[in-house]
């Protein structure tokens, strides 16, 4: 746990907490608006959360070489998360532009 300073740990942990709150708020927004595409965005945010949790776990164990696979998983989840967020944003944009209203009700 000595791999990071206390202020850096505060940033890491608060970022994870903020991301969880953002996922929850996006889900609630989908419920309030009745637009299910926002629920898709909250699901699309999960790989990025997993990525952050991998990084925190690796640092918690002092960047142990036995856990170096977490770095690969973290990078992979970042790529997957970026792709899922892009797709979810596109679906929201498409639904707002009148392309598909079937999922909104």
How far is it, in rounded angstroms, from Cα 2 to Cα 89? 38
Does residue 67 sit in helix, strand or coil? Answer: helix
Cα dihedral across residues 10, 12, 15, 17: positive or negative: negative
Q: What is the span of the domain harbouring residue 32? A: 6-96
pLDDT recorded at residue 98: 78
3-state secondary structure 9-39: HHHHHHHHHHHHHHHHHHHHHHHHHCCCHHH
Counted domains in the chain:
1
Q: What tokens were used for 19? A: 């991301």
Q: Is residue 49 part of a domain?
A: yes
Over the chain, what is the mean pLDDT? Answer: 92
Which pTM value belongs to this model?
Answer: 0.85
pLDDT at residue 1 is higher than 80: no
pLDDT at residue 58 is higher than 80: yes
Q: Is residue 1 part of a domain?
A: no
Q: Is residue 46 part of a domain?
A: yes
pLDDT recorded at residue 51: 97
Residue with tokens 């998983």: 73
Q: Is residue 103 part of a domain?
A: no
pLDDT recorded at residue 3: 77
């Amino acid at each position: 746990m000595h791999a990071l300073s206390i202020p850096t740990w505060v940033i890491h942990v608060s970022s994870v907490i903020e991301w969880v709150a953002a996922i929850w708020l996006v889900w609630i927004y989908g419920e309030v608006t009745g637009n299910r595409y926002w629920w898709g965005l909250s699901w699309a945010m999960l790989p990025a959360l997993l990525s952050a949790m991998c990084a925190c776990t690796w640092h918690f164990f002092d960047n142990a070489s036995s856990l170096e696979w977490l770095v690969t998983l973290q990078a992979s989840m970042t790529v997957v998360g970026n792709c899922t967020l892009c797709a979810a944003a596109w679906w929201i944009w498409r639904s707002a532009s009148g392309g598909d209203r079937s999922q909104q009700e």
